[in-house]
Amino acid sequence: MSAKKKAVAKPPAPEEKRRAATILRRLAKAYPDWGPTLRFSTPFELLVATILAAQATDESVNRVTVDLFKKYVGPTAYINAPQAELEKDVHSLGFFRNKAKAVKLMSQGVLEKFGGDVPPEVERLTELYGVGRKTASIVVGAAYGVPSVAVDRHVARVAQRLGFVKADDPVKIEDAIAARFPKKDWVKATWCLVLHGRRTCTPTPRCPECVVRDLCPYPKKTKVLPKAR
C-alpha cells in the first residue's frame, strides 16, 4: 500500500492576495515601528535574546541583556559560565534554569556545528538545542534579512481571525501567511501581525480601533473597548 500523500493547501485566490496586501499596507501604516523589538548587535545576541524571551516580555529581556551581553561575549563565554551564575543572571525572566541550560547548550552547538557563527538558514538553526522554527525564523529575518515568517501566539491569533487559516499548526499558519504575501514582505508581515496582536488584536480584541476591521471576518468582534486592567 502506498503512503498517503501530504495534502497541499489550495493557493489563495487573486482577490484574497489583494485583501492581504491591503491589510498589510494598513497595518504597516498603523505600526510604523514594525520590526524586531529585541535589542541585539550580532546574530548570536539575537539568538540568545530570543531564547530568553520565551514566556517573558521583550522589554524585560532587553533590560537583562543590557548587562548580559557585556558580561558574555560569544558562545565560548556562555559555555564556560557556571550554570548557577548564568541562572542568577537571567533569574528575573522566569524559567531561569531551563533558559540558562538552553543558552549554554545552544552556544555549544553553535561552536561545534558551525564554528562559532550563527547560520542564516532556518533549517540549520533548528539543529541547535532549544531553537525551534519560530526562533530560527526571527533570527534569519531580523539579523540577516532573509525572507521568513515567524509564527508566535500573536501571529497565530491574528492570522486565524483574519481568515488566513483555520488550523492551529504553526507550520500551516506559516504556509498560509507565506502564500498571501510576496517573499520580500514576509518579514514585514510577521512584525506587523506581531504588533497588531500585541496592541490591538489581543485575546479580547480592541475591534473599534482596528484599522482592518472591515476586512476581518472574525465573528466575535467587540463593539466596545475592553476595560483597562
In this model, does residue 3 exceed pLDDT 50? no
**pLDDT level of residue 228 (50, 70, 90 thresholds):** low
Is residue 89 flagged as an active site residue? no
Per-residue pLDDT at 229: 57
Give the tens place of pLDDT for each residue, 110-123.
999 999 999 999 99
Q: Which of 89, 99, 104, 152 is catalytic?
A: 152
Residue 92 is classified by DSSP as G
Domains of the chain, each with CATH number or no CATH: 14-35+148-215 (1.10.1670.10), 43-144 (1.10.340.30)
In this model, does residue 1 exceed pLDDT 60? no
Q: Are 218 and 161 in contact (CB under 8 A)?
A: yes
The string over 131-141, giving b where at least 16 C-beta atoms fall within 10 Å of a residue's C-beta and e elsewhere, is bbbbbbbbbbb
Per-residue pLDDT at 10: 81
Q: Which of 89, 99, 104, 134 is catalytic?
A: 134
For residues 195-220, give the mean pLDDT: 97
Is residue 134 flagged as an active site residue? yes
In this model, does residue 54 exceed pLDDT 60? yes
- For 50, counting Cβ atoms within 10 Å of its Cβ (0-12 exposed, 13-18 middle, 19+ buried), the class is buried
